[in-house]
Structure 1
Amino acid sequence: AMFLGDYSEAVGVMLFYRVGEYLQERAVGSSRRSVSELMSLRPEAVHVKKAGAVDDVPPSEVLPGSLIEVRPGERVPLDGVVTGGCSVLDTSAMTGESLPVEAGSGSSVLAGYINGQGVLEVRTERDWRHSALARVQELVEAASGRKSPLEGRLSSFSRIYTPLVISIAALVFLLYPLVTGGSWADGLFRALVLLVISCPCALVLSIPLGFFAGIGRAARQGILLKGSNYLDALRKVKTVVFDKTGTLTEGVFSVDEVLPRDGVSPEELLYWAAHAELSASHPLGRSIVKAYEGTLFPDRVAELVEVTGGGVSARVEGRPVLVGKKSFLQEAGVRTEEGEDRGVTVYAALDGILLGCLRLSDRVKPGAERAVRKLRELGVSNLVMLTGDSSSAGTEVGLKLGMDEVFCGLMPAGKLEHVRRLKPETGLLAFVGDGMNDAPSLAAVDIGIAMGGVGSDTALQAADVVVMKGDPLAVPLGMM
């Protein structure tokens, strides 16, 4: 355009390009700032015990064989073995296991587990560079390096349109003098005019404007995109892989069934079990207390003893009550029914006689079933669930939601392996997760979607799309 002397056209083209790029960068930058604000920084100090004193030391400086202290609510900083204390650990971020795990002397723990109660004394077995957390970070970096970049719609269009227009302009320059008998200068002039008029200024401005509006609308609905290309790519997804705990389920157990023995009412069974668990710290105990709809009387409970990995014993209204695993009651001399338990089952006994049992399960999120139906309607042909949970718990949730395939008992490397195997021949693959154990898979797939409301900072960094409220229904919403 400048060669032809049409300076206003040249300035206009460059201005349209810059405005379009600015709007697109502004929309993406807004999403990235929101993701940064969502991430919480955790303390990076390890409580190392030396000569009776406790010093706070950076994880990178703690040597194998050191004795460390993990306090309630803290994340285990290094892999090791418990040498003192007992507690209940939340391992869902690393393994995906929704059920809390009891830990006592001799129990192995991995970096990333969350200590729920009590102070643990841990003898470290590996330094920070070789810990479970560090290995997850290495998997994320390796997966990110192997990930194919996704093109935006304008890039895909220009890859075909640009060489096509230049080829036509070259033909005009070469054929015009031969066909019309005109001069080569006229041929060059007409070829340059073709290049100027074929410049898609409206397209250059309208596509970034469309992305700007789309990313802004998604952000208002709590869906943050780290790049405009992911907005377009979401429409091409044909396979969606879900993590279970924290993604499709809430990671919080609730009482599904109350199964009293003959002659015992469900209200009576819940009354004694809830009072025995009233002051217990185990998450299952809190779920039982929540399930009881009657009035609770703390003054009627005495002599509460909590046995890690077993259950609780207490005196309620002066009568002995036991609540816990079948083996815990059997060791106390209570006769229970034979047979294998389904899911998570808690037994209760009064005066040494079995009252019945309670079945608990990880509660499915309200929007999970609707999300699966919507994805089917949008043309997603394959829905898969991966989980670190046991086979019985994972399969039950998968069947309830109508998943095509369910794979259970997977660690981070196992999830990554399955994700790579599930890559469809046509269309794109999306993975939806929330924990650190999901981060390698989030980084490896075409589109990684992290649940921001409950997700770890590692998962948020590895993902391409962040769902702020942690609602699975937002996944099909982002594809519409």
Structure 2
Amino acid sequence: MKKYKINNLDCQACSIKIEDNLKRLGIVKDVSIDFATQTILLDTEDIDKVQQVIDKIEPGVFISESISDNYQGKFSKQFKCDQKFRNEKSSFLTNIISFMKQKKRLFILIALLSGYIIGLILKSRILIETKSKFVYFMSNYIIFIIIYMLSGYEIIIQAIKNLLKGGFFDENLLMSLASIGAFIVGAPEEASAVMLLYNIGLYLEDLTIDHSRKSIKALLELKPEYATVLEQNEQIKMFPSEVKIGQVVLVKIGEKIPCDGTVIEGNSYIDASMLTGESIPIFVKENSNVLAGTINMSGILKIKVTKTFQESSINRIMEIVENATHKKAKTELFFNNFARVYTPIVFIIAIITAIISVLFFNQSVTESLYRACVILVISCPCALVISVPLSYFAGLGAASKKGILIKGSNLLDALTDVETVVFDKTGTLTEGKFKVSHIMAQKGYSEKQILEYAAYCEFYSNHPIANSIRNYYYEIFHKNTIDTTRIKSYKEIPGLGVSAIIDGNHVVAGNAKLLNQKIFSRDNVINSFNKENGMNYNNNKISDTTVYISINDKYAGCLIILDNIKKDSKTAI
């Protein structure tokens, strides 16, 4: 199954028609067209034959290059800056052109709507002031005919094309017949209104699709842009999809890891929140496994690639997001099939209504034709064919904007039957932002002293917990900086904590694993604090993000770092 770009699709009905015809081909094993993203998932060995069939169904619609692989080509160090500039320039120009096209369409619709309103005003004034039927006829028709042709010519042309190809019953034909009938019965303003309002509806639908598409694309920005491969003492930059298993990549501070692999040199904290939702950085060292898309935060890493980018977790997530709209819900499939039966039934009902009105209710031909036109307009299947898939696409886009991955439209329906929900805690029910909630100080030290030693010891660390300690220090001491001249011999102990000489005192700040080896027992710390302060803390209150402080190799206290629960978590649950 490969994914292709399909161009010049005008409507949802066209995509349904093409999809149905391709499914009947023996050379096509499976096919799914998504009108919103203008893509087609296709499993076939003869793409040329598929294109020939599409040409017969919808001339002008064509399949372009495969977009299964987002990366192509290679670039050197010297080319990197030029490539980045061209990409930014291209993106900027593309955005400008897209903006102008979108606004041009909006301005045209506003102009047509204004012309329509002016036409209604002129019609009422001329009707009162003139006695000439010819003048009234010309003023009544000429403005509305212009508005009608400008807003509806594409629909009429498409209806004619469908008739020539044998595709008789569709929304284009219904709209064309209804509007032409309105002209025949002497209601040109209603004929032009039908086409104008239809175009305004399409414009609003396109805006919704574009908004949802941008939300989905924004979620895909977590993919790594390039990889720095080490070959014969040279650093070669290439796209992640070109990196082979066994090659060694260099990842500097702040860069995204390009492929899944194993660390062979260096240690660092990595931010995996975009993949796992865990806001606490993960410490990695030699022989640690790392995932593509995670961010290197504190040290230089050399990583031996164990999986190609196409097999990586991040690429699988991207494919899930990009192809979500191809997994159609039962409701979508039902309305797509229903429209094919519904449209000819509406057409037949309109004809029967016109005949019955004349034969059995003694109505004029003009009035009966008018009633038939009304049925054709109000019963047009566009609302069903377009709005149902559009609502699912908008739902997927809204979820993506909030960072929620949904594997397909079918799963949106499945959510209505959910009875049990399992939540991740950090960053989901909690804010993912750490804050010092309490300070435990041993005899001989105050809480402010423990906080001050901790803030100075953690000053050079970029770990989120270190940031929370410094921020709390600034808040309590009403300062916005730290006197770095008091800090000497700073040392980071990977995965455990930090140490420094502060005002001549050897201070260590770290986790229980670091300090427990030398000077204290976790249970003893808790029992001692409860006894001294008359409190009842227990092991559950002391979280894994507690920072323990020792001064001159003696336990001095600890800081409890908690992640606050979101205000709307209770409502969400």
* Interval of TM-score (by shorter of Structure 1 and Structure 2): 0.5 to 0.7
Note closer, same or farther for the CA distance 1:144–1:25 as it changes in structure 2 (3 Å cut): closer
Query: How large is the Cα RMSD of the aligned pairs?
Result: 4.6
How far apart, in 1, do the equivalents of 2:198 and 2:423 lie? 39
The aligned counterpart of 1:303 is: 489
How far apart, in 2, do the equivalents of 1:41 and 1:325 lie? 30
Note closer, same or farther for the CA distance 1:12–1:3 as it changes in structure 2 (3 Å cut): closer
The within-5 A match list for 1:272-291 is 272-291=453-472
1:330 maps to 2:516: yes
The aligned counterpart of 1:127 is: 308
Is the CA contact 2:259–2:312 (under 8 Å) kept in the aligned structure 1?
Answer: yes
CA deviation string 1:43-71 (max 9, x = no partner): 62211111222111221221111111000
The within-5 A match list for 1:73-472 is 73-141=254-322, 143-148=324-329, 169=350, 172-173=353-354, 175=356, 179=360, 191-198=368-375, 249-292=430-473, 293-294=476-477, 296-338=482-524, 340=539, 341-364=542-565, 368-370=566-568, 373=571, 383=572, 403=573
Number of residues paired by the alignment? 346
Note closer, same or farther for the CA distance 1:342–1:272 as it changes in structure 2 (3 Å cut): same
The within-5 A match list for 1:36-47 is 44-47=225-228
How far apart, in 2, do the equivalents of 1:348 and 1:328 lie? 10
How far apart, in 2, do the equivalents of 1:24 and 1:63 lie? 45
Q: What's the TM-score once normalised by structure 2's chain length?
A: 0.51
Note closer, same or farther for the CA distance 1:33–1:320 as it changes in structure 2 (3 Å cut): same
Is the CA contact 1:173–1:187 (under 8 Å) kept in the aligned structure 2?
Answer: no
Q: What's the TM-score once normalised by structure 1's chain length?
A: 0.59
How far apart, in 2, do the equivalents of 1:337 and 1:41 lie? 42
Note closer, same or farther for the CA distance 1:41–1:134 as it changes in structure 2 (3 Å cut): closer
The structure in which a higher percent of residues are strand is 1
Name which of structure 1's ranges 320-329 and 247-256 shifts more when overlaid on structure 2. Answer: 247-256
Say which one has the larger Rg: 2
Is the CA contact 2:263–2:290 (under 8 Å) kept in the aligned structure 1?
Answer: yes
Name which of structure 1's ranges 60-69 and 4-13 shifts more when overlaid on structure 2. Answer: 4-13
How far apart, in 2, do the equivalents of 1:349 and 1:279 lie? 18
CA deviation string 1:281-339 (max 9, x = no partner): 32212221221132533211111111111011111111111111112012233454357
Is the CA contact 1:45–1:58 (under 8 Å) kept in the aligned structure 2?
Answer: yes
Is the CA contact 1:174–1:187 (under 8 Å) kept in the aligned structure 2?
Answer: no
The within-5 A match list for 1:25-64 is 25=205, 27-28=207-208, 31=211, 44-64=225-245
How far apart, in 1, do the equivalents of 2:488 and 2:254 lie? 27
CA deviation string 1:186-209 (max 9, x = no partner): 7876542212345668x99xxx9x
Q: What is the Cα deviation at residue 243 of structure 1? A: 7.0
Is the CA contact 1:326–1:347 (under 8 Å) kept in the aligned structure 2?
Answer: yes
How far apart, in 2, do the equivalents of 1:291 and 1:85 lie? 31
Note closer, same or farther for the CA distance 1:111–1:193 as it changes in structure 2 (3 Å cut): same
How far apart, in 2, do the equivalents of 1:30 and 1:146 lie? 19
Q: What is the Cα deviation at residue 135 of structure 1? A: 1.9
Note closer, same or farther for the CA distance 1:274–1:168 as it changes in structure 2 (3 Å cut): same
Is the CA contact 1:336–1:354 (under 8 Å) kept in the aligned structure 2?
Answer: no
- Identify unmatched segments of 5+ residues in structure 2: 1-177, 403-408, 527-538
The percentage of counterpart residues that share the same residue type is 29
Is the CA contact 1:274–1:285 (under 8 Å) kept in the aligned structure 2?
Answer: yes
The aligned counterpart of 2:197 is: 17
The structure in which a higher percent of residues are helix is 2
How far apart, in 2, do the equivalents of 1:25 and 1:42 lie? 29
CA deviation string 1:338-397 (max 9, x = no partner): 574434211111122222221213345xxx425864xxxxxxxxx4xxxxxxxxxxxxxx
**Per the alignment, in what secondary structure is the counterpart of residue 519 of structure 2?**
coil
